[in-house]
Amino acid sequence: MDKLDFPESPLQLIHAPELDAAGVSLHVKRDDLLHPTIQGNKWRKLKYNLKAMKQARQSALLTFAGPFSNHLYATAMACKQFGIQGSAIIRGSQLDQNNPTIRFAKACGITLHAVSRQEYRLRNDPDYLTQLQHRFPDTFIVPEGGSNQYALQGCQELAQSLPESHFVCCAVGSGGTLAGMLDGLSDDSQLLGISVLKGAQYLDDEVQRLNPHAAQRTNWQILHDYHDGGYGKFSASLWQFCLRMRQQHALPLEPIYTGKLIYALWQLIEQGYFPRGSRIIAIHSGGLQGLDGLRYRNLI
């Protein structure tokens, strides 16, 4: 628990004729390379939660996750690496013991509690959380996906690690990564979020709830038309794009988060969305373990 600072992840410059034609540069912040398993925005969010847990002198951690969750995967390894007693409330009344994410979490030694979808909907309910606190004494509770005020500190740190650019772009699921990054960027940089959920205009309000400063900042927005069908859904063309980026640029992507982000940027660049001379940085938020889950379900 004393070694929570990993070496900073690298920036990868992408070379492509489409970028040259548009007169823009694109770097990818390879946060998938932060750690072999505790990577990307999930580590950024966990880092200060773990520090807060230590300061509170609590020895155990409890969180919430879907059965294929990147957050579950990263949290399980963090608990193993730092010797934390971990538990997770899992959506769904039964655990699929062959699910690769579930198998990994159990191998890391955390305890999984499957609950009905009805009970899982209570994960943010204050009374339910109070019941869990009594059921799991001396336990630090981290919300689903890890997005809370502690998470924002880690995402702000991510933004502060970046060189000056005109645009910083990230995938948006819960809004936590974008909300935290906003405080780490200068007003001269535009923060562009790509929603991976369909009909999720509420995310604009969620960012402002997580970070009240967002209401006064004018250098951010979320684009809602690049979800490719909705959360967990993706087209054959998006998956082929992910494969092409890996083959041509040595850039591994998955089609749920980072694939949608880079695919959206590619379309925006070809449409002339970014002024010529723009320096663009895209955040690779990790989540590559999700590919195993997609293969397991025969979706790729």
The C-alpha atoms of residue 97 and residue 279 are separated, in whole angstroms, by: 45
Number of H helices, E strands in the chain: 12, 10
Quick check: 30 and 10 in contact, CB under 8 A?
yes
7-23 burial: b if 16+ Cβ within 10 Å, else e: eebeebebeeeebeebe
Spatial distance between the Cα atoms of 238 and 74, rounded to a whole number of angstroms: 25
136/61 Cα distance (integer angstroms): 9
| The token pair that represents 274 in the structure block | 């970014």
Cα 187 versus chain centre, distance: 23
Distance of alpha carbon 195 from alpha carbon 204, whole angstroms: 10
Enumerate the active-site residues: 69
DSSP H helices, the chain, are 17-22, 40-55, 70-82, 100-107, 117-120, 126-135, 149-160, 176-182, 202-210, 236-249, 258-270, 290-296
- By residue count, the chain amounts to 300
Q: What angle do CA 24, 28, 31 make, to 5 degrees?
A: 165
